[in-house]
A and B are shown apart, each in its own frame.
Chain A
Amino acid sequence: MSVKYGIMTLLYDKKCHGYELKIELDQLLGNKGKVNPGQIYTTLDRLIRDELVIPLNIDEQERKLFTLDASGKTELEKWLLEAVPYHSTKEDFFFKWICARKIDYANESQMLEQQKAMVLKEVMDLTKLKTDLLIKGDENNYLLISGRLLHLEADLNWISQVENRQTKP
């Protein structure tokens, strides 16, 4: 999970102050734990330094507001369209997808299809590897790969479920 892209998602179409970002980021993460406020401010500093986020004026309660720069929007959209390799954990894709939903991202279908292609490539590669392992008599690695394939099957089913629900009126 990336605090950087979570913040950019929340700033995509509105201005927020630091505390708001903390509350909303916790919601975005669901039950995956809470973000340390210090982490939010250091990440914001880096985003400002990289010219992805713009610090604005102080609001009536003397809280500093932030917004996403055009280059920040481009950077976020680029990240959304990068498929997540399976070994870097599928949770990363789920987080990316929830960020896309949060901003009503127009290219969600493309995101899902790219992720599906990534999973399918893994399925094809691992099926071949698994068969070779079994023929060589490497039972343990065969079983480990079989386990990974079952997880990939669940991921593919999940992507299909999202796609099916998208097409419903």
Chain B
Amino acid sequence: MIKVSGLVKSFTQGKNITEVLKDVDLKIEEGEFVAIMGPSGSGKSTLLQLLGGLDSPTNGKIEIDGKAISEMSENQRTIFRRKNIGIIFQNYQLLNNLTVEENIAFPLYADGTLDKEKMKEVKELIQAVGLNELNKKQANLLSGGQQQRVAIARSLVNHPGVLLADEPTGNLDRSKAEEILLLLTQFHKKNNQTIVMVTHDIFAAGFADKIILFKDGTIEQIISREEENYAQYLANFMA
């Protein structure tokens, strides 16, 4: 479970202080697939970075599976992240000179846990994301959709309980985006991972169980399909 309370993040530039997140409270249950939507600059990607331990909050608390990552040192957060959180970025963030297989195995290599058994798992993941025939190909020679498949496989290699995705389909056309979202959904259903996905695309958000509407650094509304008027809230929000 992800629990966020009183979360504040501000950035200082010269004399100006910009509060990007303003007292955010949020609870995401284990195994939920949640989409975060909101205009540019509303703080949704900053929230994701804090959830992933890539940055630390100015104030407030973030707990993931009972561990307060907001109180950890940078090193502790990095170790926690490697073991428990997978992250997928809009621009894939692969190591371009490495092959598909090397990119996916990289977190294990960095942790010093890469062995024969783990390598077998890497190969299974390559097959699951449909890149079997490209496993020896260099990452920068792949298409956008293929690179995102590698990024998904890499994010799953440590069996994280939480998967964070920041606009995972933002650079892809509709049909490639569809393949990526279906892949994520299939893994989500199979492994019961918690997924938090930032997106501006309602067609991507449609894959989630719940949608969090973000505006000006705060949560405007959390909507689930069970609510009678949820489509009206969405339409108002998107107006």
A residues adjacent to B (C-beta < 8 A): 113-114, 116-118, 120-121, 123-124, 126-128, 131, 134-135, 146, 149-150, 153, 156, 163
Chain B residues near A118: list those with CB within 8 A: 231
| B interface secondary structure, majority | helix
Minimum C-beta distance from B156 to chain A (A): 18
A128 contacts B225, CB within 8 Å? yes
Q: How far is the CA of A116 from the CA of B235 in the complex (A)?
A: 6
Q: Is the CB of A124 within 8 A of B186?
A: no
Q: Establish whether residues B174 and A113, one from each chain, have CB atoms under 8 Å apart when the complex forms.
A: no
A-B contact sample (19 more), CB < 8 A, given A117-B234, A118-B231, A131-B207:
A113-B235, A113-B236, A116-B239, A117-B231, A117-B232, A117-B235, A120-B234, A120-B235, A120-B238, A121-B230, A121-B231, A124-B206, A126-B206, A127-B206, A128-B206, A131-B182, A135-B186, A135-B189, A153-B174
Residue of A at shortest CB range from B175? A146
Cα-based distance from A116 to B232 in the complex (angstroms): 8
Q: Which residues on the B side are within 8 Å of A149 (C-beta)? A: 203
* Contact between chains at B235 and A124 (CB < 8 Å): no
- Which listed residue, B178, B206, B239, touches A163 by the CB 8 Å rule? B239
Question: How far, in whole Å, are A121 and B174 apart by their CA atoms in the complex?
Answer: 19
How far apart are the CA atoms of A120 and B206 in the complex, in Å? Answer: 9
CA distance A73 to B95 in the complex (A): 66
Q: Which of B186, B225, B231, B234 has the most A CB atoms < 10 Å from its CB?
A: B231
**Which residues from chain A contact B231 at a C-beta distance below 8 Å?**
117-118, 120-121, 124
A-facing mask of B181-213, CB < 8 A → 1, else 0? 010011001000000000000110011000000
The reply to whether B202 and A131 contact each other, CB–CB distance below 8 Å, is: no
- Contact at A156–B202, with CB atoms within 8 Å? yes
Can you list 14 residue pairs at the A/B interface with Cβ under 8 Å?
A: A113-B236, A114-B232, A120-B234, A121-B230, A121-B231, A123-B206, A124-B206, A124-B225, A124-B230, A126-B206, A127-B207, A131-B207, A150-B174, A153-B203
Q: A-B pairs with the 6 shortest C-beta distances?
A: A127-B206, A121-B231, A117-B235, A116-B235, A117-B231, A120-B231
Question: Which B residues contact A (CB, under 8 angstroms)?
Answer: 174, 178, 182, 185-186, 189, 202-203, 206-207, 225, 230-232, 234-236, 238-239
Residues of B within 8 A of A156 (CB): 202
Which B residues touch A153, using CB under 8 A? 174, 203
Query: With A and B bound together, what is the CA distance between A163 and B236 in angstroms?
Result: 13
Closest to A113 in B: B235
CA distance A86 to B182 in the complex (A): 24
Q: Using CB atoms, name the residue of chain A closest to B189.
A: A135
Of B203, B236, B238, which contacts A127 at CB under 8 A?
B203
B182, B186, B207, B235: most-surrounded residue (chain A CB, <10 A): B235
B239→A113 contact, CB < 8 A = yes
CA distance A127 to B207 in the complex (A): 6
B15 to chain A, nearest CB (A): 35
User: Smallest distance from the beta carbon of A107 to chain B beta carbons, Å?
Assistant: 14
Measured between beta carbons, the chain A residues less than 8 angstroms from B182 are 131, 134
Question: Which single residue of chain B is at the shortest CB-CB distance from A163?
Answer: B239
Interface centre among B174, B185, B206, B234 (most CB of A within 10 A): B206
What separation, in Å, do the CA atoms of A114 and B235 have in the docked complex? 8
Which A residues touch B185, using CB under 8 A? 131, 135
When distances are taken between beta carbons in the complex, the residues of chain A under 8 Å from B206 are 123-124, 126-128
Q: Contact between A146 and B178 (Cβ–Cβ < 8 Å)?
A: yes
Question: In the complex the two chains form, what is the Cα distance from A163 to B235 in whole Å?
Answer: 12
Chain A contacts for B207, CB-based, 8 A: 127, 131
CB distance from B199 to the nearest CB of A (A): 12
B203 touching A123 by the CB < 8 A rule? yes
